Amino acid sequence: MAEKRIHNFNAGPAALPLPVLKEARAEFLNYHGSGMSICEISHRSKWFDDVINDAVARTRRLLGLDDRYEVLFIQGGASLQFAMVPMNFLGPDDPADYVNTGTWATKAIKEAKALGKKVAVAASSEDDNFAYIPKSMALNPSAVYLHLTSNNTIKGTQWAEFPDTGAVPIVADMSSDFLSRPVPMERIGMIYAGAQKNIGPAGICMVIVRKDLLGRKVDGLPTMLRYTTYAEKNSLYNTPPCFAIYIVQLVLKWLEETVGGLAAMDEINRRKAKLLYQTIDLSGFYRGTAAADSRSLMNVTFRLPDEELEKKFVAEALAAGMGGLKGHRSVGGCRASIYNATGIEAIEALVDFMKDFEKRNG
């Protein structure tokens, strides 16, 4: 009974790899011979040091980071990064560019503006309800950074490639596609990602930041809101959420050792998404909501002919062992979130169900 799990298409918190959950369960009462749970051990202990150092080392290997980058763990979710980024990188007269591709990007822009920063919207897809990724932008060459949301969790769009921004570093909110594919780090000044979509439980945000950006000194920031505090103390200035970081470490180990790295993960993710989009495209019943060239490999958004059918679809899918298919409340419809931990077998089950549902209701 305890082992009866469903195919989990939740947007976040979302599915975690089953081997990770099992490993955490197996060592929950006695972590590595300590006689204690990882939740009961000092964050200053050798045990936890090994956890956080291993997580950082694996992140570096997975993304191919050189020592120009810091890997940090910060609380407050991706939402706190909306504020910390402009706070740490922008003085009163420093400009920054933002691309508005949906709900999360809009929040990031709003937060920077609320801090009184000089931010410009270099491109936006608001004119079509954020159904596409802009093809061009009015980039300010003296911007300190260009902020973009690499995957738009709610609208179901994703940057197929990171844009060429010349000398302006990209700051990417990768909350919902972090470590789902390789990243061209030469364009990246910073990545941040709330863990609860693709790499762990809620409660921690991973930040990868280039040291030259950390060198930008903005005065008057509280200790806990400065990136340098985390960089100088290996993210252990204060007590971090140890359990969340531990699960992230196990997920990173799974990605590296079981999946075989980001190129392998990318290939699997592409296969998964293709299967689902093909099913949508070949039917006259389901309709994808994102522009074809902007579709997300992580969040597949689609509509049915009417809202009643959508309700029925979500309910019947759940009864058939597939959960989390209701679209975000702000857009309606259906959404299948198919992050790294969602296996191809889950997609196959969903596709079979979709075809059967269409036959019965189309």
Task: Give the nearest distance from C-beta 195 to ligand PLP in angstroms.
Answer: 8
172 and 150 Cβ atoms separated by less than 8 Å: yes
Displacement of CA 84 from its chain's centroid (Å): 17
Taking CB under 6 A as the rule, does residue 194 contact ligand PLP? yes
47 is catalytic: no
Task: Give the nearest distance from C-beta 340 to ligand PLP in angstroms.
Answer: 14
Helices (H), the chain: 18-26, 46-63, 77-89, 103-114, 211-214, 227-232, 242-253, 262-282, 307-319, 344-361
Q: Is the dihedral of CA 207, 211, 217, 222 positive or negative?
A: positive
Taking CB under 6 A as the rule, does residue 339 contact ligand PLP? no
254 is catalytic: no
Taking CB under 6 A as the rule, does residue 78 contact ligand PLP? yes
Task: Give the nearest distance from C-beta 309 to ligand PLP in angstroms.
Answer: 27
Taking CB under 6 A as the rule, does residue 79 contact ligand PLP? yes
Cβ-based neighbour number of residue 100 at 10 Å = 21
Taking CB under 6 A as the rule, does residue 265 contact ligand PLP? no
Taking CB under 6 A as the rule, does residue 165 contact ligand PLP? no
Angle at 294 between CA 292 and CA 295, to 5 degrees: 70
256 and 73 Cβ atoms separated by less than 8 Å: no
Taking CB under 6 A as the rule, does residue 156 contact ligand PLP? no
Of 15 and 304, which CB lies nearer to ligand PLP in the complex structure? 15
Catalytic residue among 197, 254, 272, 326: 197
232 and 70 Cβ atoms separated by less than 8 Å: no
Taking CB under 6 A as the rule, does residue 12 contact ligand PLP? yes
Name the site residues for ligand PLP (rule: CB under 6 A): 12, 77-79, 104, 149, 153, 173, 175-176, 194, 197
Residues carrying an active site annotation: 104, 173, 197
